[in-house]
Structure 1
Amino acid sequence: MKFIYPAVFRKNESGRYHGFFPDLACCEAEGDSLEDAIDNANDAAYNWIYAELMEDEMDLPPVSDESDLTLQEGDVVRNIQVTIRMYDGWDE
């Protein structure tokens, strides 16, 4: 299954990038560069979504539209795609 959620990346005072998912509570990532932060955000989103899918009563949040996000000047928004195989032999 494929999941796509927007992530917001902000450059902090130390020059590193901090990324967070407005739709995925407490799902965050950092990196020395924007590319590193995006890679780390992909891993964080994968882990967050996978953990939710393993719950008896999974509750994946709806996906926000970029126009509905509260952004600051300089924020970078990227849609992060995560693909999770639900069982061996299954491929989308």
Structure 2
Amino acid sequence: MKFIYPTVIRKTADDKYQAFFPDLAHCYAQGDTVDEAVENANAAAYDWISLELSEEDGQLPPVSDEADMDLRPGDIVRNVSVNIRFYEGWDE
């Protein structure tokens, strides 16, 4: 199953990039480049969503619209797509 959540990428004071998901509490990633931050954010979102879905009463939050996000000048918003297989052999 495919899940798509927006991530916000910000340049840090040390010229690296931090990515966070407004919808996924405490789900962060970083990288030396924007592409590396997005790649690491994808892995972080995969782990976050997998853990939430493995819980008995796991609930995924609704997806925020970019217009509703508290963005700063220079922020980059990218949609991150996470594909999760629920069992071996299952395919979309």
Coarse TM-score class (shorter-chain normalised): over 0.9
CA distance in 2, matches of 1:40, 1:90: 25
Paired residue type of 1:55: E
Residue aligning to 2:80: 80
Q: Which runs of 4+ in 1 moved over 4 A?
A: none
Please, which runs of 5 or more residues in structure 2 have no aligned partner? Answer: none
CA distance in 2, matches of 1:66, 1:45: 18
What is the count of residue pairs matched by the alignment? 92
Residue aligning to 1:30: 30
| CA deviation map 1:34-88 (0-9, x unaligned) | 0100000000000000000100001100000111111000000000000000011
CA distance in 2, matches of 1:36, 1:90: 29
Offset of 1:89 from its aligned partner?
Answer: 1.2
**Is residue 6 of structure 1 aligned with residue 44 of structure 2?**
no
Please, which runs of 5 or more residues in structure 1 have no aligned partner? Answer: none
Offset of 1:15 from its aligned partner?
Answer: 0.3
CA distance in 1, matches of 2:89, 2:14: 45
Offset of 1:3 from its aligned partner?
Answer: 0.2
Q: Show the 5 A alignment for 1:4-83.
A: 4-83=4-83
Offset of 1:14 from its aligned partner?
Answer: 0.4
CA distance in 2, matches of 1:42, 1:3: 11
What TM-score, normalized to structure 1?
0.99
